[in-house]
A = this chain, B = another copy of it.
Amino acid sequence: MDIRIINPNTTTSMTALIGRCAQAAAASGTRITAVSPKMGPASIESHYDEALSVPGILEEIRHGERDGADAYVIACFGDPGLYAARELAHGPVIGIAEAAMHMASLIGNSFSVVTTLERTVGMAWHLAERYGMRHACRNVHASDLPVLDLEKPGSNARQIILEACRSALAQDRSDCIVLGCAGMADLCEDLSAELHVPVIDGVVAAVKLVEALVGMRLSTSKRGDWARPLPKPYTGMLAPFALA
């Protein structure tokens, strides 16, 4: 099974980290290809960044389709371009916020999300609402770490996230932690060991969910909202995005 993981930002060191975490968790028959778009923002920390990550994501989906990928993971906690990607792809497409929240709701009565900057808190709540997870999501906590500091030596990222998790569990009386950024994937196991509660990383959760869906021979329904887009003219810089 070929799973393409799209890191929606263009920071390739983060793409590599995501790829390693994904491969480590994948089933033996699963081949992971982690890619970054050829265009767009270096990190996603606003609706502006998120919106402009989408053309690059959709280009990668088209490459994946050309190459025969079986399924896709969109590895940014805002799940950018998820529904558009579903319209394009033959196989299933899962976002990491979606994956993490669903998985968390199966092993805890409630969860807390620990994310990066305060300004992304609203996005996380919108997704919880959209996915039917508002009842399970006790709160969303910002650690005030910029996304790219997660990888920066000396940023003390691990310690800051750990403290944010501890404080979230205490305040929210919640059962588990959802990590709110793909760049935290490599901290997951360690945090869980320290906190003695399940910690859910969306990258791995999404890999396992698409493996499950492909294993069930299920993919996005083409009957309704997510049918293949109608062909039509596209102009300007985006002309190559026109579908046949």
- Known A132-B134, A132-B135; contact A119-B55, beta-carbon cutoff 8 A: no
Instruction: Please indicate the chain B residues that have their CB under 8 angstroms from the CB of A42 in the complex.
Output: 232-235
Within 8 A of B (CB), among A16-46: 25, 27, 37-43, 45-46
Instruction: Please indicate the chain B residues that have their CB under 8 angstroms from the CB of A131 in the complex.
Output: 105, 132
| A176 on interface, CB distance cutoff 8 Å | yes
* Residue from B81, B122, B189, B211 in contact with A109 in the complex, judged by beta carbons closer than 8 Å: B122
| A230 on interface, CB distance cutoff 8 Å | yes
Give the distance to chain B from A125, nearest Cβ to Cβ, in Å: 9
- Contact (Cβ within 8 A) A220 B56: no
Q: Which range holds the interface residue count of chain A?
A: 35 or more
- Contact (Cβ within 8 A) B47 A83: yes
7 smallest A-B Cβ distances: which pairs? A39-B236, A132-B132, A208-B212, A122-B225, A175-B221, A47-B83, A46-B229
Chain A residues packing against B (C-beta within 8 Å)? 10, 25, 27, 37-43, 45-52, 54-56, 58, 81, 83-84, 86-88, 92, 94, 98, 102-103, 105-110, 118-119, 121-123, 126, 129-136, 146, 169, 173-176, 189, 196-198, 200, 204-205, 208-209, 211-213, 215-221, 223-227, 229-230, 232-239, 241-243
